[in-house]
Amino acid sequence: MVGRLADVVDMDDDERRFLESQVRRHRAPRSLSDRCRMILLCAEGHESKEVARQMSVHEHTVGKWRRRFVRDRIEGLTDEYRPGRPRTVSDDQVAAVIERTLHSKPKDATHWSIRSMASETGLSHTTIRRIRCPAGEWHIH
């Protein structure tokens, strides 16, 4: 059984210089440095399997970065945007909690606790805690 043919990695002198500089840079993120090293090895004619063995990564990882470099050049070696979980609390809600904290007091208390504010606003106590700084002060964006 024959696997899929790997994309041929060709590059110009500017691309090679950039990749080599990223491999040598001490402050380059390790992930970028590793990707640059993979592409340089691929450009030397090494198979993905051999590059993976040398770098102690999975062959599919080398294939992914090889394909992205061939398709998108150097820009393909950066991480793609990952949006993550959408926000559930708006800036207006955060501002309202801060405003209420600064300008009002709960009934029968001298200050707002996390749980009393959560109860008053309908937000969870963990959300109220995230709005507060670790020192117990209110975090204003």
Whether 141 shows a pLDDT value over 70: the answer reads no
Domain ranges of the chain: 13-77, 91-131
Q: How far apart are CA 43 and CA 34, in angstroms?
A: 14
137: pLDDT confidence band, cut at 50, 70 and 90? low
The stretch 92-102 carries a mean pLDDT of: 85
pTM: 0.55
Q: What is the pLDDT of residues 15-72, one digit of tens each?
A: 999 999 888 887 767 788 899 999 999 999 999 999 999 999 999 999 999 999 999 9
Q: What is the pLDDT of residue 88?
A: 83
Work out the number of other CB atoms within 10 angstroms of the CB of residue 62: 26
At 49 the pLDDT is 94
With CA atoms as reference, report the closest residue to 63 among 78, 47, 79.
47
Residue 96 has pLDDT above 70, yes or no: yes
